[in-house]
Structure 1
Amino acid sequence: MKMNKHWIWLLATICLVSTARSQVEKQVHAMSAREAVEYARKNSFEVKKALEDIRIQHQVNREVTSNALPQLNGSAAVNYSPRVAVQSFPNFIAAGTYGVLEQEGVRDANGNPIKAPDDFGIIAAQFGTKWNANAGLSLQQILFDGQVFVGLQARDAAMNFARKNAEITEENIAVNIYKVYYQLLIAQYQINLYHDNILRFEKLHHDTREIYKNGFAEKLDVDKVSVTLTNLRTDSLKLKTQMNNGFLGLKVLLGMPLADSVILTEKLTEEMVKSEILDTAYNYGDRREFQLLEIGKQLNEFNVKRYKYSYLPTLSAFGQLNSMAMRDQFNLFRDKWYSSSLIGVQLNVPIFDGFKRNSQIEQAKSAVKKSNYDMELLKLSIDRDVASSRNRFRDAIIAVSAQRENMKLAEDVFDQTKKKYDQGLGTNTEINTAQTELRTAQTNFFSALYDAAIAKVDYMKAVGKIF
C-alpha cells in the first residue's frame, strides 16, 4: 500500500508539472490585421523558406567571387612499388664500345680488325626506386576571363532577385491573412446576431406557449417557433465550428503554434472599409511581380554579355612548388628531398567551337525578348486587376449601404410584427416570415461588408500597396 501511494503521488506530481509547463508555453496574441501580417513576416514558415533562398543566393555569390580569387592547392603522396617496372631499350652501351674499338683499330685474337655486329640487342633494366614520395603546392590566379567578370557584375542583380521573390511570398501571405482575418470578424458578428435572434425567439417561444396555455394559440404555433429556435441554435453551433477551424487556418498562415490563442482586436466597419480613398493613378513599378521581371530581364542581359565575352581570350598565371624523395628503403625523411618549382602564364585563345557560342548568344537574346513580352503581358494583367478590383470595390460599397438600410428595415418589420403578434393581431406565419427576412437581410449585409473589405484588399494588391 505504501508503494502504491508513492507511485500515485509521483504520477500526480508529473501530471501537475506537465500541465503547468503546457500552460506556461501557451500564449494569447491580441492583434489587428496589420499586426497579424507583421507576425507572419517574422514567423511564417513560407517566409522563412524564402529567406533561406536569400541566404543560398548569398553563398552562390561567394562561390562566383571565388573564381576571381587565387586558387591554392596542396598535394602529397607516397608510392611503394614491390617490383619496380622493367623497361627495355636498345643496347647503346655495346654500340658505343664497338664504335671506340673500331675507331682505334683494335684487333681480335686472330689479328682481324674488330667489326661491330649488325644487331646489338636490347637491355632490360629497372629504373626507379621502390619508395617514392612527393609534396607540393600549386597556385593559380585568373588575370582576365570575361565570363568571370560578368558573373561578378551580376551578383547584386541575383541577390535582388532572391529578395524580390521573398517579398512576393510575404505579399501573398499578407493578402491571405487579411482575407481570413476579415472572414473571422464577419463570423464573430454573425454569431452575435445569431445570439440576438436566439434571444428573440426564446422570448417568442415563451410568449407563444403562454398564449397557447390561455387558449389563444394552437399547439402548431408553438411547434413552429420551437423548430425555428432549434434551427437557429444548430446554425449558430455550425458557424462556431467553422470559425474555430478558421482560426486554425489563420494560425497556420501566421506560423503560430496551434495551442496559442488569437484575439482579433480590429473591427470591420463601413467606416474602416471606406477609409483611405483609393487613387485612380498607379505605377506598374509598384508591383513586386513587375520588379521581379525587370530583375529577371537584367539577369538575361548579363547572360548575353557573358556569352559574348566567351569569344575573348582568357589569361591566367600559375606557379608550382614540389619536393620529391626516392628511396629503396622506407627512410623517406632521413636523406635529402629534391625540390622543383615552376612559374608561368597561360593564354587560351578560342578559335572555332562549331558555332556553339553563337547559339548560346542567340538563346540568351531570345530570353531577353521573352522577358519583354512577359512585362507587357503583366502590364495588361495589372490594368485588368486594378480596373476589376476598383469596380468590385465601388459596387460593394454601394451594396453595403443598401444592405445596411435593408437590414434596419427588416429589424423594424420584425419588431412591428412581434408587437402585432403579442397583441393578438398577427399570426405565427407572419413572425416566421419576418424572422426569415431579417436573417436574410443580416446575412446579406455582412456578406456585402466582407465583399467590400476583400475588394479593397485586392485593389491594394493590384496597385502594389498591400504593405
Structure 2
Amino acid sequence: MNPYQVARRSSTTLIMFLAGFALPSTLMAQNRHEMSVQQCVEYASKNSVTVKNALVDIQIQQQTNKEITAQALPNVSGNIETIHYPKVPVQSFPNFIAQGTYGVLVAEGVRKGNGDPITAPEDFGLIAAPFGTKWNASAGVSLNQILFDGQVFIGLQARETSIQWATRNAEVTMELIKANVYKVYWQIVIGRKQMETFDANIERLDKTLSDTRAIYQQGLVEKLDVDKLEVSITNLRTEKMKVENSLKIGLMGLKFLIGMPSKDELVLTDTLSEEKLKENILDDSYKYEDRKEFQYLQLGKKLNEFNVKRYQLSRIPTVSAFGTFSKNAMRDKFNFFNDGEWFTTAFVGVRISVPIFEGFAKNARVAKARLELQKTQNQEELLKLNIDNEVDTARIKIGNALLTMESQKKNMELAESIFNQAKLKYDQGLGSNLEITNAQTELKNAQVNYYAALFDAVIARIDYLRAIGKL
C-alpha cells in the first residue's frame, strides 16, 4: 500500500505526476465526472486499488479472528475406515494350550506308559498363527473441546485490537492517498490559473504587435522590432502548449491516483483563493493521538503486549476434554452391509497436558516477544520526535510560503504596471520596443514566480495540516 510521490516542475510550477501513465487524448470519454477535491478523495476511498487492498486486509484479519475463535469451540470429526488384509498378520504367543493340557494331566496324576508320573516341560515354546480377519471396518465420531488454554484465551482477547490495527492501517493508507490527491488536484487548478495569464500576455503582445506593424508601415520603426515581437508571441504560445500538455498529464495522473478509468472525463470544480490558504493555520495545538500513524503504532504495541502474555501462558498446563463413539465390524469377506454384528465402542476423557521441558524454547519465545515490544516502544518515541519535527518544520515552511506568495504577488502586480507604462510610452513614441520586450519578460518571470510560490503555499498547507493530524 505505497503513496505516489509528486515531482515539481520548476519552469511552470506544475507537477508532472505519473507521466508514464498518460494515454492519448484521442480516447473518447465514457463518463463525465464533475468533482470537488473532497469528492475526489471520496472517490479514491472507494476505487483506489491501494485503498481496496487495505480494506481487504481488514477482511483477512476478520477471517483470522474466526480461526482463533474456532480453537475455543468443540472440534468434531467423523471417520469411516475399511481395511483389507490379503494376508492376515501372523502373531506369536506363548503355547498356553500345551501348558494347560500338561497342567490337567499332572493334576490328575496321569502316568506314562512306563509308570513314571507325567511332568510338565520347562519351556512350552510359542504358537505362530494368523490373528484377525481379512476385512475390518469402523465408523465413528470424535469430539475434542479445549477447557483451558492460556494462549487461546489471549488470542480471543486480542481479536478486537487486531481488527482496529488493520483498520488503522487502512486509514493511514487513505490519508497518504488523500494528501497526494489534494496536491495533484490543486496543482492542476493552479496550472489553469496560470493558463489565464498566458492568454492575457498573448493578447497584450498581439495588440502591441498590431500597433508596431502599423508604425512600421509608416517607417517609424525597424522590421527588427516587429520580428522580436513575433518571436516573443511564438515563445509564449509554445510555453502555453507545454502547460496545456502538462495539465493533461496531471489530470491523467489524478484519475489514476483515485482509481478512475482513463477514458472517463474528469472536470475539477473547486477554485483556489489566497484567503483559503490562510484558514486555520494559526492553531498551535496538536496531539500525537491525532495522527493515524501514532494510533496505528499504539495498537501494534498493544498486540505485542498480548504476544508476550501468550508465550508466558504457554508455560502453564492446558486442559481439554475428548470423547469417541464408533462401530466396528470384522469379516472374512466383504459383506459389511449384510447381516452381521457391529460392535460399539465409546469413551470419554479429560486430558491435562503439563509442559515440563522443551529445551528452553518457551523462554526464548517470551524473550523475543519482549524485545519486539521494546522495539515498538522505541518506534513510538521516534515517531513522537518525528511528529514534533514535522510540525515545527511545517510551521516554518507555511509561514515562509505565505510571505513569499504575498511578495511574489506584489512583484507580479508591479511588473504588470511596468509593462503597461512601457506600452503607454511606446504608443506615445517615447519608448522603445526593447523596453516593451524587457517589461514583458519581467512580467512573465514574475508570473511564473508567483504561481510557483502559490503552489509552494498549497503544499506547505497540506503538509502542515497532515503534520498536526487535521488534514
Q: Do the two structures share a fold, i.e. TM-score over 0.5?
A: yes
**What is the SS of the residue equivalent to 1:350?**
coil
Instruction: Please state how far the C-alpha of 1:200 moved relative to its aligned partner.
Output: 1.6
**What is the SS of the residue equivalent to 1:352?**
coil
State the one-letter code of the partner of 2:189: L
**What is the SS of the residue equivalent to 1:78?**
strand
Query: What TM-score, normalized to structure 2?
Result: 0.91
Give the Cα separation in 2 of the matches to 1:203 and 1:39. 45
State the one-letter code of the partner of 2:330: M
Instruction: Please state how far the C-alpha of 1:50 moved relative to its aligned partner.
Output: 0.3
Per the alignment, residue 388 of structure 1 pairs with: 393
Per the alignment, residue 345 of structure 1 pairs with: 350
State the one-letter code of the partner of 1:343: V
Give the Cα separation in 2 of the matches to 1:152 and 1:275. 46
User: Where in structure 2 are the equivalents of 1:9-20 lying within 5 Å?
Assistant: none
1:299 matched to 2:280: no
Bigger shift: 116-125 or 25-34? 116-125
Give the Cα separation in 1 of the matches to 2:222 and 2:65. 84
State the one-letter code of the partner of 1:445: Y
State the one-letter code of the partner of 1:236: K
**What is the SS of the residue equivalent to 1:332?**
coil
Instruction: Please state how far the C-alpha of 1:243 moved relative to its aligned partner.
Output: 0.8
State the one-letter code of the partner of 2:196: N
Give the Cα separation in 2 of the matches to 1:247 and 1:385. 29
CA deviations 1:332-385 (Å, max 9, x no partner) are 022121110010001111223333222222222222222221111111111111
1:283 matched to 2:287: yes
User: Where in structure 2 are the equivalents of 1:190-269 lying within 5 Å?
Assistant: 190-269=194-273
Per the alignment, residue 409 of structure 2 pairs with: 404
1:415 matched to 2:407: no
Give the Cα separation in 1 of the matches to 2:132 and 2:165. 59
Per the alignment, residue 37 of structure 1 pairs with: 41
State the one-letter code of the partner of 2:422: T
Give the Cα separation in 2 of the matches to 1:140 and 1:119. 48
Give the Cα separation in 2 of the matches to 1:206 and 1:282. 59
Per the alignment, residue 458 of structure 1 pairs with: 463
Give the Cα separation in 1 of the matches to 2:132 and 2:215. 123
CA deviations 1:122-155 (Å, max 9, x no partner) are 3221111111111111101111111111111111
CA deviations 1:27-64 (Å, max 9, x no partner) are 11111111211111111111110000000000111111
CA deviations 1:192-218 (Å, max 9, x no partner) are 211111122222222222222221121
Per the alignment, residue 77 of structure 2 pairs with: 73
**What is the SS of the residue equivalent to 1:266?**
coil
Per the alignment, residue 185 of structure 1 pairs with: 189
1:172 matched to 2:173: no
Give the Cα separation in 1 of the matches to 2:341 and 2:470. 75
State the one-letter code of the partner of 2:102: Y
User: Where in structure 2 are the equivalents of 1:153-172 lying within 5 Å?
Assistant: 153-172=157-176
Give the Cα separation in 2 of the matches to 1:284 and 1:362. 29
More helix by share: 1
**What is the SS of the residue equivalent to 2:462?**
helix
Among 359, 373, 378, the alignment partner of 2:378 is 373
**What is the SS of the residue equivalent to 1:243?**
helix
Query: What TM-score, normalized to structure 1?
Result: 0.92
Give the Cα separation in 1 of the matches to 2:48 and 2:344. 60
Bigger shift: 64-73 or 363-372? 363-372
1:438 matched to 2:440: no
Give the Cα separation in 1 of the matches to 2:334 and 2:427. 117
Give the Cα separation in 2 of the matches to 1:76 and 1:211. 108
Among 321, 326, 335, the alignment partner of 1:322 is 326
State the one-letter code of the partner of 1:171: E
Taking only the aligned residue pairs, the percentage that are identical comes to 53
Bigger shift: 98-107 or 323-332? 98-107
Instruction: Please state how far the C-alpha of 1:327 moved relative to its aligned partner.
Output: 0.6
Instruction: Please state how far the C-alpha of 1:89 moved relative to its aligned partner.
Output: 2.5
Instruction: Please state how far the C-alpha of 1:82 moved relative to its aligned partner.
Output: 1.4
Per the alignment, residue 141 of structure 2 pairs with: 137
Give the Cα separation in 1 of the matches to 2:228 and 2:193. 26
**What is the SS of the residue equivalent to 1:75?**
strand
**Aligned pairs, number:** 444
Give the Cα separation in 2 of the matches to 1:460 and 1:239. 29
Query: Is the alpha carbon distance of 1:376 and 1:286 closer, same or farther for their aligned partners in structure 2, counting shifts above 3 Å?
Result: same
Gaps of 5+ in 2: 1-26
State the one-letter code of the partner of 1:312: I
